[in-house]
Structure 1
Amino acid sequence: MHYYDIQGIQLTELAEKFDTPLYVYDANKIIEKIGILRDSFKDVNIKIKYACKANTNLSILKLMRKHGVEIDVVSPEELRLALMAGYEGAQITFTPSGVSFDEIELAAEIGARINLDNLDVLEAFGKLYGNKKGALIRIKPHVFGGGNEKIMTAHPESKFGISIHQKDQILEIVKKYDMKIIGLHQHTGSDVKNADAFTQAASAILEMAKDFKDLEIIDLGGGFKVAYKDGDITTNMAELGAVLSSAFLNFCQEYGRPLQLWFEPGKFLVSEAGTFLTTANTVKKDPIKTFVCVNSGLNHLGRPMMYGAYHDIFNASNQDDSQQDDYRVVGYICETDTFSWSAEGQQSERRMNTVNKGDIIAMKNAGAYCFSMSSQYNSRIRPAEVLVINGEAKLIRRRENFDDILRNTVEVDV
């Protein structure tokens, strides 16, 4: 997975032009992933809703909209970004978790599709709107699926959704306020490797759906496994598409009319499109290990430290495979901010082409939950972002400066 260029532009050339640390996104890869998902579900009426919390850069949102992908948001700020990117209210789904009801009202008033995830907000929504505004209900199907417990969202102890075992309470509230429930939703988790978890969750949702008379949508979320290294196991999209499409079409026939099948991928669409470029500040030879210390840290790419996530790392400045060494790639934050975690979630070394001070160290799968989770920890500024589209590298977010650190500070006499 050592890609030394993006659309013919060398990574080192991008680092020289825009400086490091730098996020670079390949528009072609995003378009490719959209196509894969559509092809996998070509036999059903599919709608893709980009889970934009993965990457909210306006240019990425506009690229999604240009290619017919709608959007899923989880906050009023993401809602405003969606509107700025040109989405209309009906193209936006608001899927919050545990928010105050005024956020739900705000989204409903601009015409977004609302996804209700607990009994209290279901009742409040019904009391306020009755059958004047349709809503989706997020169901927790009690299914285990995902890469690890931090990214599983459908198991019995998850905070997300209304338990499937509370169906009678849901139906009681819906009947009480004559609510129009237009969709049922579930999201199993991230990095789901095979179709089993999806099919279990889908079976549970489709069975429950028979009790709702106004449905237009079945929303099965996202969480498809992407490749993090050569030979990595990924979700078999063709297999998943065949299995779920068959089950969905059978349900529609039994239900008596065709429905839309929605998915809300985030990582699947943008993860592999992103490459994070850093510079080796120093190569620190220790009696036990050799450390490559780069000009970034968990403040810019926190997934390894937060999730034990694996990112492929390579020396973009040296394409000579004949001389290699084992390196532990670490950041400059005053924490143990190791980038080179193993696939098993442990700090480890990476075998790379010989690294020298000043080399460009690249990290793959940096398109999702990387910049969007970045911070100014240690009073460090956030990186710039670049989109490579039609063979041209375009700056889509400027690098912060010290003024950005101080922007909201209010000095007082102490």
Structure 2
Amino acid sequence: MSLHIVGGLLIKRFGKTGIRSVNLLRFRLAQEFLLKYNVIGSCDWKFHSIPIISPVILTMSSTLQVNKRPSQLDKPATVPHTRVDDELELDNMFSMGKRLGQGSFGIVREAVDISSGKKWAVKAVNKEKAGSSAVKLLEREVSILKRVNHEHIIHLEQVFETSKKMYLVMELCEHGELANLLKVQHHFKEEEVTPIIRDLASAISYLHKNDIVHRDLKLENILVHRNEESGDLHIKVTDFGLSVVKDGVGHENMMQQFCGTPIYMPPEIVDNKTYSQQCDVWAMGVIAYYLLTGSPPFKARDEESLYDYIKKGDIDFQGEHIRDCSASAHECIQGMLKVDPAHRLTASEVLDHHWITGVQNGSANVLVLMKKWKDELNEDGEDDTGHSSSTEQEISESPDEGQQPKNNKSELKSQNNLSKSIVVREQVPSQL
């Protein structure tokens, strides 16, 4: 993506939504904008002087982030993938314990490594029962888990495979799914949600920097574990069956497959449009709201009505629990749930948001920053040439539309049918 400053400094953004532009007066004011929001020196900006065509062209990386954090792309250790002729060989390696979860095609058990005494979660999938499509999803999950290494993504230790089954030896999260924890607590306090979203944003930012899009983020796919040293609870992202590895950025790498879980789907997916990694950020916003209130931000009795509410994007911040949360919490959630993905916060921007960092001068989406900066200039009524700035083209926000109805028991009950992933996939829970 490029920002071109031409003549009177017209900034253009090239992406799937086309060209967005705003007159930014003159170059010295553009510099003021960049310096004010601490962009120069923290992002991949390159300045090219083209005197005849334009004073300057700014070229940046596909995702502009203010106060960009250092990369976490640590090279993962090699994950052994061993073929075994007899399943009984595993009995000599692991002592199988209690069942953690069970699905149509397999089972997850707690297991103890006999040689080291360390506890693991062993996921066993019957390839014959699963069928070719589910096996492909499983192989995709294994492939992605082998290439990632992050403290808030589930760790795959090793894989064993027979002609009939595949065994994934994974990190054990003794507190199970975040969804189950929410059922017990009904809702979380804001000070409990903030570190969860911080961990989640860190993991998703890492994936996106690796061109990996999860595509099925939800409470059931987030596991909870306790840090052995500090005793603090932390989360681990799991279940990469629907995840995809892109070939980079740009329109040609947008995704089209309709998949995910209805109540976590962003407007661009339910509207059958191409979409990007920003679908994960929308799901993060749904998760944050869900944890704070005990219910999702968009609710309906049926799928079609749910999709209508999602496309409108109206969020109720006056309901029980959520109305008492901080303004910064509302702002961050609103930023993650922008209907237009171009205006939605990125995962890295969420990580730098003042709700997460506690620093009040946290960053925002660059398009929002440019609009805010331009509005501040417009308060004077004129640009630095003495001409009115009213002809400047606004960076549009999503239009306000009708509101969805209030919560009721029948609506909440209907969520059971709207919280399942839409694809034929392996029916084995990650860990319960």
Same fold (TM over 0.5): no
Q: TM-score range by the shorter chain?
A: under 0.3
Q: TM-score, normalised by structure 2?
A: 0.20
Q: TM-score, normalised by structure 1?
A: 0.21
Q: Which has the larger radius of gyration?
A: 2
